[in-house]
Each structure stands twice: as C-alpha cells, then as structure tokens.
Amino acid sequence: MANTPQGTTSGTSTPSFRDVVRDVMKHYKHEKESEAHQIFRNAGGHQPKGLPEIVNAEEETVPGIEHPGSTGVIYCSDRAMANGFSYTSSHEWANLGQGAPEVGPIPDAPERPNTIPLPLDSLEYAPTTGVKALREAVAKLYNHTYRQGKASQYTYENVCIVPGGRAGLSRVAAVIGDVYTSYQVPDYTAYDQVLSAFKRLVPVPTALEHKDKYHLDVEQTRKDIRTQGLAVVLASNPRNPTGQVIKGNDLKEVVSLTKEGTTVILDEFYSWYIYPENSSDYGKSISSAAYVEDVNEDSVVIIDGLTKNWRLPGWRVCWVIGPKNLVTALSQSGSFLDGGANHPLQLAAIPLLDPLHVQKEKIALQKHFKAKRDHVLARLKALHLDVDIPPTSTFYIWLNLEKLPAPLNNGLTFFEELLKEQTIVIPGIFFDINPAHRRNLFNSPCHHFVRLSFGPPLKDLDMGLDAIDRVLKKAKNSGMKDFGQGYKTTIEVTEPAHV
Ligand SMILES: Cc1ncc(COP(=O)(O)O)c(C=O)c1O
C-alpha cells in the first residue's frame, strides 16, 4: 500500500514538524513512541513488571489489593466505551471482538426455550456437582456421540456441572497441586490469569509457532513431560484465537500423553465449530472423549458447556467431565469458589442435551458459521488482507497485519483506529504470555495480529469489514499522517459491557 507523502516541504528546506512526526510514526519500534501502547500501559494492572510476583506499590488501589490486569476482552470494551460504545448504542457498532456466538435464531436451528419454569425445589441450592438428571444427560450425550461400542462408558459420576467455562477452569485450577502446569500461547486469554491466581501450581507457558500453524508438538510435549516433569497440560481444542484444531490420530496422541502420568485438560468449548469440506460431514464434532479408553483411569479432563455450542452464553451452564475422583475434588472446590450453577437453568438445560436436538443444532450451526467464515475471508481477500492461516474451526480469524504500513501493522494501533470507526477487534498481544509484563510490547510475537470474531450476525460482520475498508482507503488516499494519534482516553464506564 502506498504511503503518500503528504505536506512535505519542497526542495531542500527543513522538514516541517508534521513531517518529523510522520517519520517517527513510520519507523517507531518501541511502545514508548506509540499512543495506543501508552493508553494500554496506563490501564490498571498493565504496567511492566520485572517478575510476575513482584507487587508494584503504585498499582495498589486499596491496601493489599492489586489489579490482576483485565483480560483482553474487558480492556477492549473499556476502550470502546471511551470512544462512545454502550449497550444502547451497540447497534451502531460492529463488535468483531465478541467472544460469543450470535444468540438469535439461525436458519434450520430448532427452537429453544424462551421461558424457564421455576418449580419450588429449584429455588433451593443445587448440589455443587450439579443436578443429577443433567449430569446423566451430559454423560449420555458423550457416550452417544463419541463412545458407542466402547466398554467403558461415562456415568453421571464423571460429570460436574459448573456455572460457566471460566468457573470450570477455576474449579480445576484450584485442585491442581504444587506441580508444573503447561499451557501454550496463543490460547484463550483467561488461562494466564486463572492459572496465576492459584498460587500452588506453577504455570509453564510454551510459545506455539506461526510457521507450524500453531500446532501443538505432541512429541516435544512428551519430552517436556519427561524432562521437566509437567504434571498437567491445558489446551483449548479447537483453539481460540488461531481457529486450528487437533483431530483424528493427532488428538489420540494428545490423549496418550496421559500414559506418561500427566493430566490432560482439554477445553472443548468450540467442539461443534468445525467446518467440513464435504457436506456429508456436517453434524460431526470433535472431542477427546472419543479416544479415552477407561473413563475412570485415563486422566483426561474435558470442559465444555452451553456457552458456545448451544449459543447460550448467558445461561452459565457448563460441565467438566473426567474420572470420578476428579469430580469429587471439583465438588469440593466449587463449594468455596462459586456454590454451583443456577438451579432452574440446569433443569431447563436437560432437554437441550437430547442427542436428536443436538444433531439438528450442530448441523444448523456448522452451515451458518461456515458461510459466515467464507464470507469474511472473501471480503478480507478483496481488501488484500489475506489470512495466512485460515480457521478450520471456532469463529475466530487470527489476522496478520505485518504487510500493512506502520503504524497500522501493529494490533493495538489497528484496534484504536477501528474504534474511531465504531468497530471492535481484539489486539493480538492479549493472547501472548503476560503481555503487561513485557518491557517492550513491540517484541511480542502476537504484536502484529488481531483476532476478528465471526460470532456476530452477518450484517454486523459487514459493518466491521466496511470499517476496515474505510481505514485502509484512508491510508491509501491520505497516507499515514492521521494514524497513531488522537485517541480518546477518558473512560466513562456507565454500564458493564461484554465484548
Ligand atoms: C476456549 C474458551 N474456553 C472457555 C471460555 C469461557 O466460557 P464461559 O463464558 O462459559 O466462561 C471461552 C470464552 O471465550 C473460550 O474461548
């Protein structure tokens, strides 16, 4: 893309102040020179730190209280609000940062309840492991989908109902002992914070490589288990934000890591968001449950729920599946962490797990989201923003901006420029290890990326793509002089938003 020299003083005269500023913008390599990065640093919990465990006194708000640093989604929603985003104005905005699927009707999907019964019993606490009939329904669904003909079958005792995926992750993290716990980056942003919040376990991050399409190297992990003593491995599969999935024999290999005496935790929230090449493959989903031999002996822990696959993020009904022994431990951590999932909604969820209902939902979802993925990829291509590693699963696109002219080629500045156009995306650095602790965010391998979500309805996606088009046209027609500056900093949080 041409970087049109605008306002250049002619001949040999000294360059104007604007020229100097523009030159710095073009060449800057350090976050100190970037307005977008300075705004990030000034948000609570995002100051650079030497080591994660050192308390930064200046960040203490109330004695003893320290900002943990918000997850990317919350930072982005705060920045969007500073630019005028609110729930009442949300229809004027394109939220491609959204980590949730559209929740309204989609073609051919079965109807879902729009009222919830409240029987008297449901006003009581539910057990911290969840309502037995729902646990049974989950076990039945997994046996039906992934374990037909296998001797070892899941029962309700292998299922713990939890109030959302993050609650499930926290319950699991709370019962991990003093051991090395491996996770990879980029991956779901909450892992870093959840794992750091539970001080007994030692989080061990591994960077996945762009050149390997962000694939987990199972053989290397096996070696690390043996040489470093990794006791727990956590990964999302399909993976947020890269949209890649481990399946078939590769997934079987991941499950086989349990034979090394390691617990494998697979976050399978996007297990239905698989986009088949052949139409006969619609309706197939992916789970490590298919490769578990003995449900009580193999230390495979699966986390999933209604949030993404059923497109019901607001219900907060999710589950953890694993050996019976794990489930009793999770019941204990749930008793002090969250107290259990909402009782009436657990009851209402039972019919939604019926295998016939599920099959219809899955097919409708895969067709609809595949069409949205293809539409977004085609529009990005037309904007010369080719996606080098297109998603085969999830509803995220991990978009490399490296080919754009500076400063649009870094995720934070691209994000700020899109906010001016009422569009939200998530800068890539939020998917890196401890971004706030880096000395220079420009050195992060995720710095040149943004995550675009095709979770929202098609018309919102088009609004966002139109905004990207406008930004690129502005760069082409007027050069880079207006980019990288003029960002609103006042954050008037009047209502909570979840982007
Ligand atoms: C991989 C992954 N796991 C878990 C969750 C969180 O689920 P919940 O909203 O139910 O806490 C998300 C949400 O974005 C996710 O991407």
**What span, in angstroms and rounded, lies between the C-alpha atoms of 358 and 337?**
30
Question: What residues contact 197, with CB distance under 8 A and at least 6 apart?
Answer: 68, 170, 173
The pLDDT value recorded for residue 276 is 93
- Ranges for all domains in the chain classified under CATH 3.40.640.10: 120-358
Could you give the CA distance from residue 360 to residue 349 in angstroms, rounded to a whole number?
A: 16
CA of 187 to the centre of ligand 1 (A): 11
Secondary structure of residue 152 in the 3-state scheme: coil
165 in ligand 1 pocket by Cβ < 6 Å?
A: yes
- Which residues are CB-contacts of 450 (< 8 A; sequence separation ≥ 6)? 399, 401, 411, 414, 415, 425, 426, 427, 428
Which is the closest atom of ligand 1 to the Cα of 305? 10
**SS3 at position 490:** coil
Task: Give residue 499's pLDDT.
Answer: 53
Nearest CA to ligand 1 atom 4: 165
Instruction: Give pTM, 2 decimals.
Output: 0.88
Is residue 23 pLDDT above 70, yes or no? Answer: no
CB of 320 closer than 6 angstroms to any ligand 1 atom:
no
- The ligand 1 atom nearest the CA atom of 236: 1
Ligand 1 centroid, distance to 216 Cα (angstroms): 20
C-alpha of residue 267 to centroid of ligand 1, in Å: 8
pLDDT classification of 216: cutoffs 50, 70, 90: very high
In eight-state DSSP terms, residue 393 is B
Q: Which residues contact 63 (CB under 8 A, 6 or more apart)?
A: none
Alpha carbon 193 to its chain's center: 13
What's the start-to-end Cα distance of the chain, in Å? 31
- The stretch 149-168 carries a mean pLDDT of 98
The pLDDT score that the predictor gives to residue 373 is 98
pLDDT at 53: 40
* Ligand 1 touching residue 240 (CB < 6 A): yes
Ligand 1 atom nearest to 167, measured from its CA? 11
For residue 250, pLDDT over 80 is answered with: yes
Measured in residues, the chain has a length of: 499
Q: Judge if the beta carbon of residue 318 lies within 6 A of ligand 1.
A: yes
In terms of average pLDDT, the best of 67-71, 95-99, 154-158 is: 154-158
Q: Out of 308, 337, 451, give the residue to mutate to test ligand 1, the one with the largest number of ligand atoms within 8 Å of its CB.
A: 308
Averaged confidence pLDDT in the chain: 89
Regarding the beta carbon of 99 and ligand 1, being less than 6 Å apart is answered yes
pLDDT tens-place string over residues 280-336: 999 999 999 999 999 999 999 999 999 999 999 999 999 999 999 999 999 999 999
267 lines ligand 1 (CB under 6 A): yes
Ligand 1 centroid, distance to 120 Cα (angstroms): 31
Evaluate: CB of 203 within 6 angstroms of ligand 1. no
Asked if the model's pLDDT at residue 51 lies above 90, the reply is no
Ligand 1 atom, smallest distance to 164 CA = 10
CB 334 near ligand 1, within 6 Å: no
pLDDT at 17 over 70: no
The second-level CATH assignment, the architecture, of 25-99+395-478 is Alpha-Beta Complex (3.90)
Cβ 187 under 6 angstroms from ligand 1? no
CA 309 to centroid of ligand 1, rounded, Å:
11
Q: For residue 173, give the amino acid letter.
A: A
318 Cα–ligand 1 center, Å = 10
User: Domain 120-358 class?
Assistant: alpha beta
307 Cβ closer than 6 Å to some ligand 1 atom: yes
Q: Give 189 Cα–ligand 1 centroid separation in angstroms.
A: 9
Residue 6 pLDDT: 38
CA of 169 to the centre of ligand 1 (A): 9
User: Nearest-5° angle of CA 170, CA 56, CA 440?
Assistant: 90
